[in-house]
Every structure is written in structure tokens, then in C-alpha cells.
Homo-oligomer: A and B are copies of this chain.
Amino acid sequence: MNYCSHCGHALSMRIPDGDNRIRHCCDNCGTIHYANPKLVLGTLPYEGQRVLLCRRAIEPRHGFWTLPGGFMENGETLSEGALRETDEEAGARVEIGPLFSVLDVVHVHQVHVFYLARLLSLDFAPGPESLEVRMFAENEIPWDDIAFRTTAMTLRAFFDDLRQGTFMLHTGRVQPAHAPHAPHGPL
């Protein structure tokens, strides 16, 4: 961020009056430009003991498998955004269920939120951002080819809960990939 998006003047980095953090400040028009984490919304579409995954047709992680999801847009609720992404990426019709995982991904300034979503039909099809969409039982999940760690965490929680017979809300934090306890690759 170099220029003021309001007036076009060059920005300076300083702590504004009454604040305690360095911000991008415009000394011309006075606008302070805050940067805040973004929400990534998705679903875990399932039928019985199988889940739906999409193989990504876009970067990052082209060719890797993921749950349908993407950035929340202005003008929608959390569940509307999750449903929109499920339709766009997998062409899947689901009945949205409860919040299932809420995961901090601090190093990329994101919070990932997944809803349980019961598939209403197995008549789905990849959208432009997916190469392929298919159902997986637990023993078929391509763990080494999962795109994001929040996907892997959410899938593991689902199959654990399925064995326990009750679905819970799962919260947690993804460590950076270079951290000692990062188990599943990037993001």
C-alpha cells in the first residue's frame, strides 16, 4: 500500500493519534487505511460417511484437493457465502448445517470458517475454479494432496466426530509452515 485510495497522495506509515499501531496514513486528506484479516468461508459437504472435495484449477495449490470455499464478499452472511462458494466451485446443492470449524490462519491474516452441509444430491459438477469434484470415504482421502491445512484439520475433525457419533464446533490455529508443529504442508 503506497498511495491513498481516497485522494491519490503518497502514504506515510505512522501511529495515528489515539492509536497504538503503525497504520498507512494520508497526510493530505487525513484518511487512515486499516488492514484487517479476511474471512474465508466454506462447507464440508457430506453424504453418509463420504465427503465432497474439489481439485483446484487455480493457484495457489493448483491440482490439490480442497473443500469448496473462498473469500467472504460484502453483502452476504457467513452461511450465504459458504453456500455461494459450494455452488460456484462444485455445483453442489446442500442443506447448510451448523458451524463446524473456525480456524485462525494468522500468518496470512485469515480466518477460515466451515459449515457442515448435507448433500441434497450427488448431481454436482466442477465450476471454472475446479478441475474435478468427487466423493471420498475416509480411507480414500488423498492426505498428501490436500491443498490447505485448514481443509485437512476440518476433514480430520469430521471423521473423528463421525466415529464419536456427534458433531461439535472445532476451533484452533494453523501454525506457519516453517513452525515446528506444522503437520500438513502450506497454508
> Judging by beta carbons under 8 Å apart, are A74 and B7 in contact?
no
B104 touches A102 (CB 8 A): no
Contact B3 A6, beta carbon cutoff 8 Å: yes
A interface, size bucket: 35 or more
**A77 partner, pick from B10, B11, B106, beta carbons under 8 A:** B106
* C-alpha gap A36/B6 in the complex (Å): 17
Given contacts A18-B128, A36-B72, A39-B37, contact A78 B5 (CB under 8 A): no
Q: Which chain B residues border A18 with CB–CB below 8 Å?
A: 128
Check: A179 CB closer than 8 A to any chain B CB: no
Cβ contacts under 8 Å, A74 to chain B: 35-37, 109
A21 CB contacts on chain B under 8 angstroms: 73
Cβ–Cβ contact A106 & B39, under 8 A: no
- How far is the CB of A23 from the nearest CB of chain B, in Å? 10
> Chain copies in the assembly?
2
Q: How far is the CA of A171 from the CA of B173 in the complex (A)?
A: 21
Q: Which residue on B lies nearest to A102, using beta carbons?
A: B99
In Å, the complex CA distance between A76 and B110 comes to 10
23 pairs, A vs B, C-beta closer than 8 Å? A1-B5, A1-B6, A2-B5, A2-B6, A2-B7, A3-B4, A3-B7, A5-B5, A5-B11, A5-B33, A8-B10, A18-B128, A36-B38, A36-B39, A36-B74, A37-B74, A74-B109, A75-B109, A76-B106, A99-B102, A99-B169, A102-B102, A169-B169
